[in-house]
Each structure stands twice: as structure tokens, then as C-alpha cells.
Structure 1
Amino acid sequence: MEFADDVQPVPAADEALVRVEAFSPNRGETFLLENPRPGLVPGKDVAGLVVQAAADGSGPPIGTRVVGHPAKGGWAEYVAVPTHSLAVLPGAVDAVRAAALPLAGITALRLLRAAGGVAGRRVLLTGASGGVGHYLTELAAGAGAEVTAVTATARRGERLRALGAAAVVHDVAGARGPFDVVLESTGGAALPVALAKLAAGSTLIWFGQASRTPVTLDFFDFFTGPEGSAIRHFHYAGAPYGEDLATLVRLVDSGRLHPEIDRVEDWGRTARTLVDLRERRIRGKAVLTTGAGR
């Protein structure tokens, strides 16, 4: 990856032009760089200042601090963001924490909605040390769930306990079920093991494949395992995002949600950060700052 000059984006009528103060790359976005299409500018998680309001009158006015979730283009000084995917930032929420919210936070919110009411239910969460996992742990525990988080190291497990996890294990096989809900993001060999931890008639929601290893399932395992259970596929995407972003901002502002940011760097160090993110050397989120807010 290298820096390049480009023309400033020209927003559509329903888009605001945002001067980016901070952006947060996601591990999945690093895979786009394996075989990038010409002109690719990734970037879906941004925070900054509106410098041009939407021409159709929707969205915030010039000078408003915002967090946004554009489809692309956020790894830049300026990005055009649909106003339906922006949320206004209160003064107490800085751009660094805000930039860490969109994709991971929206995914966590929508996963919990897909799971239904979790109060009093036993929840198993795999791949818990990533950005989504930290948000899910805190949100689910705050809603009354008994969360067992799976993470590779004791250091990462300590933080998950602080966020509300009732138990932390370092391998999914060590989780003590049965569980009412399994939220599975690892794939590979972990998914069948997690599936076997379900209570009868319960649900596994599959929302990622961080291992990048295909899953093999034996249908006959259901006969001796969680009979009547279900597997659901989940993908967070689907605009508008503004309402969910506003919810996340409100939770952060009220002290009920704490973005787990392992690294804050100047965007001149983006390449190194992307490598470390891809190789899973970053706990939670990484945020790059452009210097625009100084």
C-alpha cells in the first residue's frame, strides 16, 4: 500500500463531504488488498468534520463533528458519506473512539438483535478478541447474558472479563455448555465444536470465518448433539446505518460502551498497521489519525 494524490470526492445530492480526522481499518478490508482492483480506496469507518453539507438538505450542517460508515473511500483526507449513514458526535466523544465504532459496533448490535432477547441466557462467543468480540461481550453482558468468551491468550481474556464476560476459555473445546446461543466467527474446525455446545433447540449464528478455513459439518452429529438446533448465517451489511451509529455514540457517551483500541497511529504508518491487523497482532481496534483535527 502507498500514498497517492487523488481528486477530492464530489458528493452526491444525499451525501455530505467529511474531512477525515480518524479512520479505523478492519481485518476483512486487508484481504481486499491481496488482488486490488484499479483505483481501490478502502475505508468504511471514519470520523471527522462536515465541510460540505448534502445538497438535498438532509443530514448535518457544515462544521458538525460526525462518525460515518461509507461504502468505501475512508482511508483518505476527504470522503463523501450518505447522510443516512452519519451520526452526530457529542463533545465528549472524540474522533479516535468514534472511528472505532462503525463496522464492528453495528455488527455487534445487529447480531444481538438477531439472537433475540439474551437476558438470562448463556451465550458462547468465539473469536472474542477482535473488535466485534469486545463490543458483543460488553453489550451482551450489559443486557443480562452470561457470556463465555473464547480468546487465544490470557492477556486478552482479562480485558473481556473486565467488560463483563462470565467465563473466558482459550479454546472452544474448553467451553462448558450447553449454551442457548452460539455466536461463531472463526470457522474451520471451531464451528463444529461450537455447534456441539448448543442446548437442544437453540441457535448458532455464523457471522465470520476469521480462520479463512472452510467448514466441514457432519449432519449425523446432530443426532447425538443439539437435536432440533439451527444454524443461521449473518451479515451485518444493509444501509441505513445512521440510527445504529447514533445508538453506539449514545452508549459511549453515557459510559456504557467502551471501544477497545489497541493502537492509535499517524496514518503514515497505515501499511504497518494493516500487516499487524491481518496477522492478528492487534487486540480490538486500530485507529489511524490524519492530523486534520489538530
Structure 2
Amino acid sequence: MFAEDAQPLAAPHEALIRVEAFAPNRGETFLLEDPRPGVVPGKDVAGLVVQAAADGSGPPVGARVVGHPPSGGWAEYAAVPTHSLAVLPDDISAVRAAALPLAGITALRLLRVAGAVTGRRVLLTGASGGVGHYLTELAAAAGADLTAVTATAARGERLRERGAAAVVHAVADAPGPFDLVFESTGGADLPVALSKLVPGGTLIWFGQASRAPVTLNFFDILAGPQRAVIRHFHYAGAPYGEDLNTLVRLVGDGRLHPEIDRVADWSQTAEVLVDLRERRIRGKAVLTTGGVR
């Protein structure tokens, strides 16, 4: 359902972007259960600068950019802080760029938190989403021996191409032990993933895709890997421009490949959101507003 709203007023440190493509994230669909009045969702956008920031920062009018605003991206125009923009080269389309921000930034920052992964055995749950594809490719390129967990073979078919050493369809089937676990599903999967660690191994918990509570039994942990570490991770924290520039450079160099399962006109937003929520989309979905370059 579309609604008319006034064009956003950009703050002095923000550029006004004519949005050509945006990528909804599954977590954003849950915001619609109890929407805040006046708040337009949307964190992943790509388009054209039509009004430069008044404080002189950021790209000029006419620049093609990808951005990660706090909200407001599901619209024809979005005001984006200039510290969270990156200029696009001509060979990266708005569609590919829009698939980068939240998922790509999350993958980059997860790897920074994890430290060196070269030669380490890594388990990644919930691997068939946007973050999972980026994290698989980046970790494999850094030398990790990564096992990806996906619900079905169809959802995980591209992960081997992106560098996964193995793909399994249940955490229990993952042939551990692992030095590091990236855990994003929660529910019953997290305790099983935790049990797969080597002594002194680390589990980084960055999502709750199952939306099911996690129960940890102290005695199970006591009987499991000694000195296991559980770390909570949340990607958020502006500025995002440096990470966006890194992602754009990696895509341009052919070292990172956005996995875009669906591209649709934004008139199909409702259908795409339902499929995203029900996990019927592999990787990312991108919606276009017309006039995409």
C-alpha cells in the first residue's frame, strides 16, 4: 500500500537522495507488527544525489551513491547522513549497490570482531540470507574452512560457489569441532552450535532468525567445550561510509558478489516483504522505483 508524504527535509549533514533501488531486510519486516507512527522503514538505498549536504560534506549533486540511513529508505527520496554514503563507480548498478549496506556491513564487522580466521574451522548458521552469503565469501577469501548451515539444498546451492567448504542442513549435522561459530538463528540451534566448539572456542551470536527463545542448560555447558566464550554482536554504529566504500571496492574488483534472488518494482513491495519474512528469498531482494541505472 502506497501513501503520499512530503519530501524529507535534509539536515545540514545529510544529502537528499532520489532513491532508485532499495533492499528490505527481514528484520525490518518485524517492525511492521507494531509500527511507530510517522516512521518509514528502510536502511539500504542506492540512487542519485539531488541535493548536496548544506555543510559541504559528502558527494555533489548528480553523484550516484549507496547509503545506509537510520530509516526512511522505502520511499522515492531519502535524507542520508553523508558519513554513511559511498560514491558508486559506473560499473556497479543501483540494484547491486542497494543489496550491500546492512548485510555487507554486518559481515565485515563480524569478521573484525572474530579476528584472524585464516586456517580456522568456522561454522555459520542461517547462512542462506544476505549476511550469510557475504560472510561466507569474505571468510573463505581470508582462508577460513567454513561450514554453512542452511535449511534446504536449494537455499544453500550458491554457498559452495562462494567458498564454503561444506554445506549442511542442520546444525547437528555439522562435522565439528569448530574454532569459531557465527550463530544467527537462536532457538534450539544455539546450544547445539555451542557444543560444537573446540575448548576455548568462541561463539559470536548475531541474530535470532528463528524468533524462538534460547535456553542454555548450565550442566550441558559444563559437560561441553571447556572455556567456551559466547559473544553478543550487533552491527549498528555510524559512521558507515568507510565500510560502504570497502564493500563497493570489493564488488568492483570482483571479490564480492551480491546474491540477489529477486528484483521487482516497488509496487510489489508487499509480496516481497511476505516472502522475505517467510524465508522464501535466498540472499537479498531489491525493489526499484523506476529509472534505475
TM-score (norm 2): 0.99
Give the residue type in structure 2 aligned to 1:138.
E
Task: Please say if 1:255 is aligned against 2:265.
Answer: no
1:20 and 1:292 in contact (8 A); partners too: no
For 1:63, the equivalent position in structure 2 comes to 62
For 1:217, the equivalent position in structure 2 comes to 216
Runs of 4+ in 1 over 2 A off after TM superposition: none
Q: Where in structure 1 are there 5+ consecutive unaligned residues? A: none
For 1:264, the equivalent position in structure 2 comes to 263
Report the alpha carbon displacement of residue 155 of structure 1 after superposing the two structures with TM: 1.9
For 1:147, the equivalent position in structure 2 comes to 146
For 1:174, the equivalent position in structure 2 comes to 173
Give the residue type in structure 2 aligned to 1:273.
V
For 2:197, the equivalent position in structure 1 comes to 198
Give the residue type in structure 1 aligned to 2:169.
H
Give the residue type in structure 1 aligned to 2:9.
V
CA deviations on 1:15-62 (whole Å, 9 max, x unpaired) are 000000000000000000011121221000000000000000000000
Report the alpha carbon displacement of residue 84 of structure 1 after superposing the two structures with TM: 0.2
Report the alpha carbon displacement of residue 224 of structure 1 after superposing the two structures with TM: 1.9
For 1:235, the equivalent position in structure 2 comes to 234
Q: Where in structure 2 are there 5+ consecutive unaligned residues? A: none
CA deviations on 1:202-246 (whole Å, 9 max, x unpaired) are 100000000000000012222221100100000000000000000
- The equivalences for 1:108-119 within 5 A come to 108-119=107-118
1:45 and 1:68 in contact (8 A); partners too: yes
TM-score (norm 1): 0.99
Quick one: distance in 2 between partners of 1:59 and 1:42? Answer: 23
1:17 and 1:78 in contact (8 A); partners too: yes
For 2:53, the equivalent position in structure 1 comes to 54
Quick one: distance in 1 between partners of 2:142 and 2:155? Answer: 22
Quick one: distance in 2 between partners of 1:128 and 1:222? Answer: 24
Report the alpha carbon displacement of residue 198 of structure 1 after superposing the two structures with TM: 0.4
CA deviations on 1:93-147 (whole Å, 9 max, x unpaired) are 1000000000000000000001110010000000000000000000000000000
Quick one: distance in 1 between partners of 2:63 and 2:175? Answer: 48
Give the residue type in structure 2 aligned to 1:227.
Q
Report the alpha carbon displacement of residue 89 of structure 1 after superposing the two structures with TM: 0.3
Report the alpha carbon displacement of residue 293 of structure 1 after superposing the two structures with TM: 3.0
Task: Please say if 1:161 is aligned against 2:160.
Answer: yes
Quick one: distance in 2 between partners of 1:40 and 1:276? Answer: 22
Cα RMSD over matched residues? 0.7
Report the alpha carbon displacement of residue 157 of structure 1 after superposing the two structures with TM: 2.3
Does the residue aligned with 1:140 lie in a helix, a strand or coil?
Answer: helix
Does the residue aligned with 1:165 lie in a helix, a strand or coil?
Answer: coil
Quick one: distance in 2 between partners of 1:206 and 1:293? Answer: 36
Does the residue aligned with 2:135 lie in a helix, a strand or coil?
Answer: helix
Quick one: distance in 2 between partners of 1:113 and 1:228? Answer: 22
Quick one: distance in 1 between partners of 2:253 and 2:5? Answer: 39
Report the alpha carbon displacement of residue 67 of structure 1 after superposing the two structures with TM: 0.1
Give the residue type in structure 1 aligned to 2:131.
V
Give the residue type in structure 1 aligned to 2:208.
Q
